[in-house]
Chains A and B, each alone.
Chain A
């Protein structure tokens, strides 16, 4: 899976034929000129590639004209990405092309000229900003510092250059915040080359250089905390995993100052950042059990025979379970998918003294003898999610192969018979990485447990109305508080089905809207007798003269069809009426996934002004206001509390 960490580099060697076949297929598509037309299949072909093979595929993909791909597949997310920096930047292009394609994305990349990064980013009128990129990668390499050192030089010279350069980057972050229009500026920490530090013979001087260098990197990392538009990729963990920072000949002769493998690791993290901004988050970690979560086959060795605590291998499985639990504690839903009888599996999860993971840690436990792709499909349906939100881990190549071919949207993590490597395999890809973990993310597993209780109520209720009344739903509409803006952005990025206009808003864009006096960013929170649903919806309204425009209306799929959406809309209309609006305007923009809300506004009494394939425009004259569903207790506040 990973192209850059030594302990996973041999993964592909385990299946060299499959990798060669996939690369061969991509080459054949390229030779026959069908690569653009077949772009969606490339994601599946790239799934098993790593290292040099992935880069080779990336060199072919980099030759594609994004417009050709988009002409054939208009729905593919294709953000504009500008790359700038100090040295030769072209080495990043194949890696980034491959990593984006691997996540089902397409990059529209533009590279700046050699060493123009300062002008590109300090001047708000630069060509880079004019290109309206969604992401700007400022690739920082050691020569940004080394090129400015006098000859001979001492540690204090380096300290000065480091301080100047970081101050410059900080200034750029400020300019970017004002100019970037919601775009993301991606920085990286700067590797400290041995070739530089070893030039100082006095070890105390050398230590000073090392300290100043780390302080500069720490400042770059802290920028992400102070500037919402900045994300800093920490290259240190890649270097610690044994990736060389640079190839001296490429650096000296061609000014390519970072190695291909380091750029590949950087590109993977950037691709996951882009994925997070385009609504492609993963939410479920589905685990095989035998030889994945514990050692041995439960059906053969029994509960006392599985390796889970004592012994060398037991310790390795225990460590893996701890990491899984750590991930589950950050909002990822855990599921067990096992070919076993259910009863002994549940008994181990409840009673085995050595287990770290317990039944309550899992949102779902599925154990029987059916095929795993069917389990995963049913699991997704049960959790109300798409299969493309699942990451599946299995040690069995057959099971992985079936899932890959039947459910190409599932991300498959390969583990094998060496449990000490399970953790690095699981974490080699940042499948669950998010820009900012919200409180709602963290509460997700508890919410799904409550959802199971709701289902039990639904199963026992006499009718849907009885069920809805029994739920005792409360809904609150509030102007968004500053602390909620990250969650608001996240909902716009992730909500696909109940999303009338599907505007994806990055955090900085939400902040800008919240500061606009004509705009109201309204949050919808809900709860019922089984628990708190948290912030589940967003409505963005804009006042223009006598009209109130509903620019966005979206609701998490886990709560719709309970009357919440009708209650909120009726409150918004009532408020418009009370504040003297003559009409409310709203729109529906059709996407592949939001068909079920096409009639949302007409059902609430809106008149259709125009409608076509792309969507529709609606108007409500506020004469006859729709009634709110009686089973929902609604509290609506539209004024911000005085500061």
Chain B
């Protein structure tokens, strides 16, 4: 996973979230079908997809999906 488009596909395919790139900046609570348990699943999936270790605590505190994406691709 490298691009925002990859990330959106991953959210749709892996978590069944009906999101588009426009939704990434929203507060998580306003994302359709969102549930806080998704963050934990997302940590595992992103580590598998990127092959890199993720700061779980920071992801669990992320205010938006965009913030999660930036943590996943940070250099």
Binding site for B on A (CB under 8 A): 27, 30-31, 52, 56, 59-60, 63, 88, 90-91, 94, 247, 249-250, 253-254, 256, 260
Contact = CB atoms under 8 A, between A and B. Distances in A.
Contact of B41 (A30, A59, A63): A59
A88 B15 contact: no
B40 A256 contact: yes
Nearest to A247: B44
Interface centre among A31, A249, A256 (most CB of B within 10 A): A249
Contacts of A256: 40
Given A27-B13, A59-B16, A63-B16, A260 B60 contact: no
B37 A249 contact: no
B40 A254 contact: yes
A254 B13 contact: no
A33 to B, nearest CB: 10
Interface in B26-58: 33, 35, 37, 39-41, 43-44, 48, 56-57
A253 B13 contact: no
Nearest to A35: B16
B5 interface: no
Contacts of A56: 13-14
B56 A60 contact: no
A52 B47 CA distance: 12
Nearest to A256: B40
Nearest to B33: A63
A60 B33 CA distance: 12
A91 B16 contact: no
Given A52-B48, A91-B40, A260-B44, A254 B60 contact: yes
B1 to A, nearest CB: 14
Nearest to A23: B13
Contacts of A254: 39-40, 56, 60
B70 interface: no
A30 B15 CA distance: 11
Contacts of B41: 59, 91, 94
9 contacts: A30-B16, A31-B12, A91-B37, A91-B40, A94-B41, A247-B44, A249-B43, A250-B40, A254-B40
Contacts of A52: 48
Contacts of A250: 40, 43-44, 56
Given A88-B37, A90-B37, A253 B14 contact: no
Given A59-B15, A94-B41, 17 more contacts: A30-B16, A31-B12, A56-B13, A56-B14, A59-B16, A63-B16, A91-B37, A91-B40, A91-B41, A249-B43, A250-B40, A250-B43, A250-B44, A253-B57, A254-B39, A256-B40, A260-B44
Contacts of A90: 35, 37, 40
Interface centre among B35, B37, B39, B57 (most CB of A within 10 A): B37
A249 B16 contact: no
B24 to A, nearest CB: 19
A318 B14 CA distance: 43
Interface in B2-23: 12-16
Contacts of A60: 16
Contacts of A91: 37, 40-41
Contacts of A249: 43, 56-57
A63 B13 CA distance: 12
B37 A253 contact: no
A30 B14 CA distance: 11
A585 B33 CA distance: 52
A253 B56 contact: yes
Contacts of A88: 37, 40
A59 B38 CA distance: 10
Contact of B14 (A31, A59, A247): A59
Contacts of A31: 12
Contacts of B48: 52
Contacts of B44: 247, 250, 260
A125 to B, nearest CB: 29
A253 B39 CA distance: 11
A491 B27 CA distance: 55
A63 B34 CA distance: 11
A600 B21 CA distance: 64
A282 to B, nearest CB: 31
A59 B44 CA distance: 13
Nearest to A90: B37
A30 B17 CA distance: 11
Nearest to A93: B37
B48 to A, nearest CB: 7
A552 to B, nearest CB: 42
A249 B43 CA distance: 10
Nearest to A27: B13
Contacts of B43: 249-250
Nearest to B56: A249
Contacts of B35: 90
B16 A253 contact: no
Contacts of B37: 88, 90-91
A30 B37 CA distance: 20
Interface centre among A30, A88, A254 (most CB of B within 10 A): A254
A12 to B, nearest CB: 14
A59 B13 CA distance: 9
Contacts of B15: 59
A94 B15 CA distance: 10
For the complex of A and B, 3 pairs with smallest distance between CB atoms: A90-B37, A249-B56, A254-B40
A45 to B, nearest CB: 15
A260 B37 CA distance: 13
Contacts of B12: 31
B15 to A, nearest CB: 6
